[in-house]
Amino acid sequence: MQLKKGTEIEITVKYLNISGRGVAEAQIEGQDYFVAVDGLFPGDKAIIAISKIKKKYLEGELIKLLKKSPHRVPAHSDHAEICGGSQWEVLDYAYQLDIKQTEVTRILSNIQQEQCQILPIIPTENIWNYRNKMQYSFGYDVNMSPVLGLHEYGRKFDVFDVQDCHLADPICNELISFFRQECFANGLTPFSFRSNTGDLKDLTIRISKYSGDVLVVLTVTHECDLKLAKSILGQAAKTFTRVKSWYIEAVTTKRGTPTTKNLIHVSGEESIIETIQVGGKNLDFEITPEAFFQPNSEASAKIYNQVLDFAELSGNEVVYDLFCGTGTIGICLASKSKQVYGLDLVEKSIELAQKNSVRNKLSHTKFIAGDAFKVFKDLNWPAAEVVVVDPPRAGLSPGLIELIVKLSPKKIIYVSCNIKSFCQDILEFANHGYKLKTLQPVDQFPHTKHLEVVAEIVSYTVNSPSL
């Protein structure tokens, strides 16, 4: 068999890689290869066509599924196989958890962290309708018909109509159906990236899982008739009484000039409130159009309770909450701490963190907007026993890791949504005298390849003898 693009071979998938692709082993012309294919799972037997050839590694596209994996189950939605947000709908949930647990163990073994205690993954109890935020895109399908829905997996511009998404509250399906009908019926058109023309960009829906209240943002371009857009929101407000807050975001995107955004509060409350229970206390957080909050409220409470458990606070500790955002982690730790200091670059996030602190009647939290290097140089903060970091997917810079180490905390709690960058940072911390002690995986995103991890990192000087 001559190996070239388009060559068809039969494979049986053995495992999933870190990207969520099914991986099989194949021998072609006496050479052993690993073969990765989207949309296949362990136990699947299929005919695939080779699409990329590298040394000892191939990528392929599914041609025909010959035998289904015993772990497959019927999907809830009709778009599971083309949507990047729910491709694992076709897998039994218990098996999804097994895959994620195994992958975490494998990756930590690869960076020689076998001494770390890896706890059993914490599942999400409500694996359907769990998301508290959804962003739907206006666009065009393959036939250039206007649609409102989600992007096809791996495709930047192609959008498909969503009718029955089961990851978010059912009101999301009702809202997108309304806006699809009313916007297109009134002559508004989706924005086209190719021509840089059109009226409509996105529909963002945020939900308090505690109260059921909803916030809606319709994102439009500078070409859109704002009076008409406000009129459509007015009609929606009469129909959807659960929606307490209505916004329009007007975005100007012209080639050669910076993108500008203007957020317009149209009607209702300016925000909604989410409530989660951490450390036995109900804590309230204000949700605005721009505020970051973990997209799974149930899982976020589990994450923050795990942070609290790892911190082992007695009430006498000073805690630093870096990348604090709107103050969620710091506020969750405050009742068990002597003092919490939160730091973030985004001023609006800090303003909301301060409001959230007042809302929860906390007097020993301090949130600062600024760069960590400058803040720790200019401010005389007391030494911290515990430092918490919840960085973006890219992780921490070596310079920031060095800065954290110079603070000499007894313990570092690291929350991560990207185990690859997390592992890179763990190795860097090890170079500075800190070791990964305990890792808790949390399944925040059922039916996807993604997961969250919470890590307890300790100084060698306070490690237990087993470490």
The DSSP annotation for 111-167 comes to: TT-TTSEEPPPBPPS--SS-BSEEEEEEEE-TT--EEEEEEBTT-SSBEEE-S---S
Cα–chain-centroid distance for residue 463? 32
Hey, which bits of 230-364 come out as E strands?
243-252, 260-268, 272-278, 281-287, 318-322, 339-344
Q: What is the CA radius of gyration of the chain?
A: 24
Q: What CA–CA distance (Å, rounded) separates 135 from 224?
A: 19
Report the first-to-last Cα separation within the chain, whole angstroms. 52
Cα–chain-centroid distance for residue 427? 24
Residue 326 · residue 352 · CB < 8 Å: yes
* DSSP 8-state class, residue 168: B
The residues that bridge with 386 in the sheet, in sequence order, are: 319, 411
User: 3-state secondary structure string, 182-206?
Assistant: HHHHCCCCECECCCCECCEEEEEEE
The DSSP annotation for 94-107 comes to: HHHHHHHHHHHHHH
**116, 165, 183, 417: the active-site residue:** 417
Q: What CA–CA distance (Å, rounded) separates 237 from 250?
A: 19
| Spatial CA neighbour of 337 closest among 304, 367, 308, 357 | 308
| Spatial CA neighbour of 245 closest among 276, 283, 218, 284 | 218
224 has catalytic annotation: no
- Which residues are catalytically annotated? 417
